[in-house]
Amino acid sequence: MRKGLSFINVTALVLGFAFLYLPILILIIYSFNDSRLVAVWGGFSTRWYAELWQNEALLDAAWVTLRVAFVSATVATVLGTLAAIALARFRRFRGRALFSAMVYAPLVMPEVILGLSLLLLFVAVDLERGFWTVTLTHITLAMCFVAVVVQSRLVTFDRSLEEAAMDLGATPLRSFLSVTLPIIFPAIAAGWMLAFTLSLDDLVLASFTTGPGATTLPMRIYSQVRLGVTPEINAISTIFIGFVALLVIAASLALKWQVVSDRRAARAPG
């Protein structure tokens, strides 16, 4: 749009982003508050961070959460990519309507329903609840997000490249691996990241489907948060936010680098 920003537009941007970021900023600032009282500023201190390292239960929960997130994101990325290929490439197959309904529904489905239904499944098949039941649950939700991210890349993709590869005698699998996969790789990586953070973040699904010995970090945080605001929670939240922000920034830099190198490769002669 050519007209540029009016005063109202600038105000909307400033207020909108202030609304999005101020609460997080305040939370981070108060994690360095020396006072235990949340409302009183008692000077700068990092003691709440030091205390986190003494909290065994919290560290255990963080370790469980990272493991669940890693395994579930990886499996969800494979399943979600397959689902995306099926939806984007196979125009007609039996049960396609049901399949696409099952892929899109979990994106908006209230988590309490998903959590309850999966718990009832695990009880019905008599699966012991713990690490694996939480992981299976996260795979199911995250694969749908991956499918949507990858599918939106696949439908904008120039299919003549695949066809050229097949005309030159490549099998469909081979043309997928050597032509399609490198091109959609950024979308797959973004899907993995999304799946990973969804799993890190989840409270409701994990609460329903977990068992003894597999308490996740959000569950720990939640049980403490219910008792009120504490500087320790601010500190762990700040670490969490910093960790995710680093991941996202690294991913977007990697993406940018890939775009640049792609362009260079395209410009190179021969």
Partner 1 sequence: MASNGSRLRGRTLVALIPYAWLVFFFLVPFLIVFRVSLSDDVLAQPPYAPLFDWRAGLEGIRAFAAGLDFENYAFVLSDTLYLYSYLQSVWIAGASTLILALIGFPLAYAMARAPHAWRPMLLMLVILPFWTSFLIRVYAWMGILAREGLLNQALLAFGIVSEPVEILATNAAVVLGIVYSYLPFMVLPLYAALDRLDESLLEAAADLGAPPWKGFWLVTFPLAMPGLIAGALLCFIPAVGEFVIPDLLGGSDTLMIGRTLWTEFFSNRSWSIASAIAVLLLLVLVVPMVLYQNIQARSLEAGR
Closest CA to 199 of 64, 100, 20, 24: 64
- Amino acid at site 91: R
- Amino acid at site 76: A
Minimum CB distance to partner 1 smaller for 169 or for 270: 169
Minimum CB distance to partner 1 smaller for 228 or for 269: 228
Q: Left if phi > 0, otherwise alpha if psi is -120 to 50, otherwise beta: which for 213? A: left
Least distance (Å) between residue 167 CB and partner 1? 11
Least distance (Å) between residue 67 CB and partner 1? 18
Least distance (Å) between residue 100 CB and partner 1? 6
Minimum CB distance to partner 1 smaller for 23 or for 182: 23
Give 180's DSSP letter.
I
Least distance (Å) between residue 197 CB and partner 1? 5
Place of tokens 């984007």: 88
Minimum CB distance to partner 1 smaller for 37 or for 57: 37
Least distance (Å) between residue 117 CB and partner 1? 4
Three-state DSSP state, 227: coil
Residues 256 and 254: their CA atoms lie apart, in Å, by 5
Kindly tell me the sign of the dihedral angle through the C-alpha atoms of 109, 104, 71, 257: negative
Q: Tell me the residue ranges of DSSP E strands in 196-270.
A: none
Closest CA to 38 of 21, 52, 50, 26: 26
- Amino acid at site 93: F
Minimum CB distance to partner 1 smaller for 15 or for 57: 15
Judge whether 230 and 52 are in contact, CB under 8 Å.
no
Minimum CB distance to partner 1 smaller for 59 or for 102: 102
Least distance (Å) between residue 268 CB and partner 1? 25
